[in-house]
Amino acid sequence: MPVNLPTPTPESLLPVRGVLLGTAEAAIKKPGRKDLLLLQLPPCATVAGVFTQNRFCAAPVIVAREHLAAGKGVRALVVNTGNANAGTGEAGLAAARATCAEVANLLDCDAEQVLPFSTGVIMEPLPLQRVLHGLPHCVADLNENNWHAAAHAIMTTDIVAKAVSRQIAVAGKTITITGIAKGSGMIHPNMATMLGYIATDAAVAQPLLQRMVSRASDASFNCITVDGDTSTNDALMLIATGMDDAPAMVDENSAGCTELQAAVTEVATLLAQAIVRDGEGATKFITINVEGGSSFAECKQIAYAVARSPLVKTAFFASDPNLGRILAAIGYAGVADLDVQRIRLSLDDVLVAEHGGRAASYREEDGQRVMRQSDITIRIELQRGAAQATVWTCDFSYDYVKINASYRS
Amino acid sequence: MPVNLPTPTPESLLPVRGVLLGTAEAAIKKPGRKDLLLLQLPPCATVAGVFTQNRFCAAPVIVAREHLAAGKGVRALVVNTGNANAGTGEAGLAAARATCAEVANLLDCDAEQVLPFSTGVIMEPLPLQRVLHGLPHCVADLNENNWHAAAHAIMTTDIVAKAVSRQIAVAGKTITITGIAKGSGMIHPNMATMLGYIATDAAVAQPLLQRMVSRASDASFNCITVDGDTSTNDALMLIATGMDDAPAMVDENSAGCTELQAAVTEVATLLAQAIVRDGEGATKFITINVEGGSSFAECKQIAYAVARSPLVKTAFFASDPNLGRILAAIGYAGVADLDVQRIRLSLDDVLVAEHGGRAASYREEDGQRVMRQSDITIRIELQRGAAQATVWTCDFSYDYVKINASYRS
């Protein structure tokens, strides 16, 4: 079950002026569930995104990048779950393009103004006819108040939908930010999560919006891992409809830019953490803080080595303070000149190790007490600089194996 | 249960002239099992080794490196299981040195001529008094025919002991090579396995022996992974007693050098594969061949990305040909300019993917047939060069989680 992750209520999700959402049951993998989502945007909207770095990136990722680069603006995003349209070769690209063409036809825009996204099983042909058949139902359903349904329509092995809203005030005007995301397994984003969409009614120039989404993803989706597997379909999109009443933001000096960046990053962080809390088989939510490093890169490298270690993750599942496994992971993280004598390791408020070994003050029952919690912070002090990094992950349980040994059935 | 790994019989293990082995029950972790091993070598023996690259390397690794560097020759190796003496700070170093001093006292040699090794739980103090108490029993047991007992005395979560012998003829004389190893979890060696010892009665100069052990480990222990966790205690030692009747080997041009290298590498490879076949919770033995790369490094990088992927490993456990997960792992391996259109993926004789997607000839039942086997080869053709690499791994099962969620209890 998800770790301390409440289900978002429909009322908690605020509409974003200009963003219309419609969902449909297209029976892409199986019937009887919403599996197709359409977002329609006004002509004044700007859109920016970051995509997976996986070389086997999915057909829709290739097409979405092309369409963004075409620079004609974005009038719609279309998302299906149940099939990733990845590892599908030329036929997959054709299916993604045909989907965009049909959306353009229905909404009276250019196909290059439509961005496609897919998530689900890899290397199966996308059932294009089902997608095309579902699209008119999405169009008929388009509405500003559909964020809750949209969050559900993009889930795969997710147990809980991920969605959050925030509002900020800029120059006396209210700006709304609402975001949704999905993801539970194959989570080790390298630029973005499986799928995330954040929209605001602020007016933001496209180059600034691109910097905003990069900064937000670097501080959120790029700091999580469930199983160390980087997906073929990761994408995080940031939409600014420009339909609020505040002045447009054109660069970092624009009024409200700092506040909007902070709100977007907060929304992205909450969505990213929600993915980990709903990680496949997760029973613990683990925050790994590496401090006192000589660079951000080495702090993150060490944090990820600990976060990815199956031995560390199974120890947390068992609530077993077998904490030497954390030292081992720090040691093999690949930081060549690391002086292990200087490293301090703590679990929440309990100092576990220092001077290359177990701390004199450490008592097994203190470690045990923290390990039994569902939210745990691992603190690693390197004591060789001022840099720090945080990574969020979950434990590794029987259910992780169960879910992934039976995902296609 | 171990995958197609027969238990070695005592008769299959050939004594190596000059190597005496003795074991004892020292109750280091629990009573009633052999957990202490002593190897005594003649003065003419040469010894070379490779050790873990983990920065949190164990106290015995530090001391063994020091003693080898002292250049006084090696007269004994002492190995305990049940406790890794890693993450134990200054007290751990003192315990490793005290162990060597006692061995030196019992065998009438210098403490710097003794190499210590430990394996077991990390960050627990080594019960030194039990080790010291067990040593005289090892001495009393010293015998050329104890390889079988020795292989058992170094096991931790291993189900089956790992040991193998080979003989080669050089200039009409017979040379024997016998090796033992242990390891089952925390297996992702970076220079060597958990613990491996290979001895020959050939006479080999120390610098040549060092090159031999490096080459052997690069082709064997450095090509396996169980869980991606590099241990704090890895060590592979190669012993040449020089008690055969053939001329001493001093460099690569010496008679028999090529044959001995091949035999040592074969023994090392069989031991390394035995560790994977007995990997924690393993039900499948998987060989990953990456061919046609532009460098060995990139081939190995891709092979390891596939070998480490929890999603790939759980799919093999389920015998589910969810083979898009292999494409995803190839894609995120970090080879930046990889052209996925050129890659061909096969399972044994079944072509699965080409041209960026599923092969036209691929049928699910063919993939299913191979996935049900206990020995499976994944072949990845990059078609961009002549380099190749092979990595051996196992699947990821409920039992892996079970074993590692309860290892200390």
Closest CA of chain A from B158, distance in Å: 16
Q: Is residue A68 part of a domain?
A: yes
Q: Does A360 touch chain B (CB under 8 A)?
A: no
A257, A277, A297 - which closes a domain: A277
| Per-residue CA distances from B44 to B201, B262, B312 (Å) | 10, 23, 49
Please tell me whether residues A314 and A226 are part of one structural domain. no
* Look-up of token digits 């060789």: A384
Total domains, chain A: 2
Same domain as B312, residue B388: yes
Are A130 and A187 part of one and the same domain?
yes
Assess B408–A contact: CB distance below 8 Å, yes or no: yes
Interchain proximity B353–A230, CB inside 8 Å = no
Residue B261 in tokens: 């290298």
> Would you call B314 an interface residue with chain A, using a CB distance cutoff of 8 Å?
yes
Average pLDDT rounded to a whole number, residues A344-368: 95
**Known active-site residue B193:** yes
Residue B409: the pLDDT is 47
Query: Is A3 contained in some domain?
Result: no
Does some domain include residue B5?
no
Q: What is the mean pLDDT of residues B217-244?
A: 86
Measured between beta carbons, the chain A residues lying within 8 angstroms of B404 are 310-311, 314-315, 318
Residue B71 domain-assigned (yes or no):
yes
Instruction: Give residue B192's pLDDT.
Output: 55
Asked if A138 and A101 count as a contact pair (C-beta separation under 8 A), the reply is no
Do B203 and B311 reside in the same domain of the chain?
Answer: no
What pLDDT does residue B190 have? 67
**Contact status, residue B147 vs residue B163, Cβ threshold 8 Å:** yes
Residue count (chain B): 409
- Pairing verdict, β A235-240 and A195-200: parallel
Does the pLDDT at position A409 exceed 50?
no
Residue whose C-alpha is closest to residue A24's, from A32, A16, A12, A14:
A32
Question: Does A4 fall in a domain?
Answer: no
Q: Please tell me if residue B401 touches chain A, with a CB cutoff of 8 Å.
A: yes
State how beta strands B357-358 and B350-354 pair: antiparallel
Q: What is the ipTM of this complex?
A: 0.83
Q: Which residues contact A100 (CB under 8 A, 6 or more apart)?
A: A63, A67, A78, A111, A112, A114, A115, A116
Q: Region B372-400: what's the mean pLDDT?
A: 95
Which residues does residue A235 pair with via DSSP β-bridges, in sequence order?
Answer: A51, A195
* A195 CB-contact burial (10 Å; exposed 0-12 / middle 13-18 / buried 19+): buried
pLDDT score for A295: 95
A161 and A245 share a domain? Answer: yes
For testing the chain B interface, which of A29, A53, A56 should be mutated: the one with the most B CBs within 10 Å? A56
Same domain, B219 and B245: yes
3-state secondary structure of A140: helix
Mean pLDDT of A44-61: 90
The answer to whether B196 touches B244, Cβ cutoff 8 Å, is: no
| pLDDT score for A404 | 83
Chain B residues whose CB is inside 8 A of the A335 CB are 55
Confidence grade of residue B193 (pLDDT, cut at 50, 70, 90): low
Q: What is the DSSP string of B189-204?
A: -SSS-SEEEEEESS-B
Separation between Cα atoms, residue B208 and residue A168, nearest integer Å:
70
Is residue A309 scored above 80 in pLDDT? yes
List the alpha helices (DSSP H) in A112-204: 128-140, 147-153
Question: Based on the domain organization, do A27 and A95 belong to the same domain?
Answer: yes
Per-residue pLDDT tens digits for B132-177: 999 999 999 999 999 999 999 999 888 999 999 999 988 888 999 9
Of A245-259, B5-19, B210-224, give the range with the top mean pLDDT: B5-19
pLDDT at residue number B250: 87
Give the DSSP letter of residue B312: H
Q: How many angstroms separate the CA atoms of B75 and B72, rounded?
A: 9
Domain with residue A291: its CATH number is 3.10.20.340
The arithmetic mean of pLDDT across residues B6-30, rounded, is: 94
The single-letter DSSP state of residue B143 is B
Choosing from B277, B294, B326, the residue where a domain stops is B277
Beta strands in A157-260 (DSSP E): 162-170, 173-182, 195-200, 224-225, 235-240
List CB contacts (< 8 A) between A356 and chain B: 56, 87-90
Interface membership of B327 toward A (CB under 8 Å)? yes
- A400 CB near a chain B CB, below 8 Å? yes
Same-domain check for residues A126 and A198: yes
Work out the pLDDT band at B8, boundaries 50, 70, 90. very high
Instruction: Find out whether B13 and B165 touch, Cβ atoms under 8 Å.
Output: yes
Record the tokens describing residue B188, joined without a space: 């992702």
Give kind and range of the element (H or E) at residue A215: helix A206-218
Name the pLDDT band for A76 (thresholds 50, 70, 90). Answer: very high
Distances, alpha carbon B206 to alpha carbons A344, B21, B166, B269, in Å: 39, 22, 21, 22
B35-87: pLDDT as tens digits: 999 999 999 999 999 998 888 889 999 999 999 999 999 999 999 999 999 99
How many other CB atoms sit within 10 Å of the CB of residue B119?
A: 29
Give tens-digit pLDDT for B352-383. 999 999 999 999 999 999 999 999 999 999 99
Per-residue pLDDT of A53-63, as tens digits, reads 888 889 999 99
From the list A88, A323, A329, which residue is nearest B229 (CB)?
A329
| H-run or E-run covering A344 | strand A344-347
For residue B383 the two structure tokens come to 């078609």
Strands across the sheet containing A76-81: A20-24, A36-40, A76-81, A114-119
The pLDDT mean for chain B works out to 92
Residue B3: inside a domain: no
pLDDT at B405 over 90: no
- Which pLDDT score, from 0 to 100, does residue A142 have? 98
Instruction: Give yes or no for a contact between A341 and A330, defined as CB atoms under 8 angstroms apart.
Output: no
Same domain? For B221 and B254 the reply is: yes
Question: What are residue A175's phi and psi, to 5 degrees?
Answer: -115, 135
Is a pLDDT exceeding 70 seen at residue B400? yes
pLDDT above 70 covers what percent of chain B? Answer: 98
* Nearest C-alpha neighbor of B221 from the set B273, B182, B266, B179: B273
Are the Cβ atoms of B311 and A408 closer than 8 angstroms? no
The answer to whether the Cβ–Cβ distance between B229 and A121 falls below 8 Å is no
Least CB-CB distance to B357: which of A88, A309, A397? A88
Name the pLDDT band for A407 (thresholds 50, 70, 90). low
Whether A324 sits inside 8 A of B87 (CB atoms) is yes
Mean pLDDT of B222-227: 84
pLDDT grade for B404, boundaries at 50, 70 and 90: confident
Residue B85 Cα, gap to closest chain A Cα (Å) = 10
Please tell me whether residues B271 and B293 are part of one structural domain: no
Q: Average pLDDT, stretch A187-208?
A: 82
Catalytic residue among A46, A88, A193, A269: A193
Any A CB within 8 A of B176 CB: no
Q: Please count the CA atoms within 13 angstroms of the CA of A156 that sit on its side-chain side.
A: 28
Instruction: Give domain status of residue A1, yes or no.
Output: no
Least CB-CB distance to A325: which of B122, B228, B398?
B122
Stretch among A185-194, B69-78, B195-204, B375-384 having the lowest mean pLDDT: A185-194
Q: How many CB atoms within 10 Å of residue B262? A: 13
Q: Give the range among A284-293, B106-115, B400-409 with minimum mean pLDDT.
A: B400-409
CB B261 within 8 A of CB B350: no
| A135 and A174, same domain (yes or no) | yes
CA-based nearest residue to B280, from B220, B225, B226, B233: B226
Is the CB of A229 less than 8 angstroms away from the CB of B315? no
- Domain at A122, CATH number: 3.60.70.12
Strands (E), B218-308: 224-225, 235-240, 285-293
Contact B123 A357 (CB under 8 A): yes
Which residues between 112 and 131 in chain B have a beta carbon less than 8 angstroms from any beta carbon of chain A?
Answer: 121-125
Amino acid at B403: I
Stretch B237-245: mean pLDDT: 88
Angle in degrees, CA A317, A323, A325, rounded to 5: 85
Residue from B83, B222, B322 to probe the interface with A (highest A Cβ count within 10 Å): B322
In angstroms, the Cα distances linking A170 to A202, A213, A216, A246, B242 are 10, 19, 19, 7, 83
Cβ distance A345 to A379 under 8 Å?
A: yes
Q: Is residue B4 part of a domain?
A: no
Task: Please state which of the ranges A241-245, A302-306, B55-59, B397-401 shows the lowest mean pLDDT.
Answer: A241-245
Domain with A210 in it = 10-277
Residues of B in contact with A84 (CB under 8 A): 324
Q: Which of A230, A318, A328 sits opposite B231 (nearest CB)?
A: A328
User: Residue B347 burial by CB count (10 A; 0-12/13-18/19+): exposed, middle or buried?
Assistant: buried
Contact A353 B92 (CB under 8 A): no
Boundary (domain end) residue, out of B232, B251, B277: B277
A113: three-class secondary structure by DSSP: helix
Tell me, yes or no, whether B185 and B56 share the same domain.
Answer: yes
Active-site residue, selected from the candidate residues B193, B232, B241, B269:
B193
A358-388 per-position pLDDT tens digit: 999 999 999 999 999 999 999 999 999 999 9
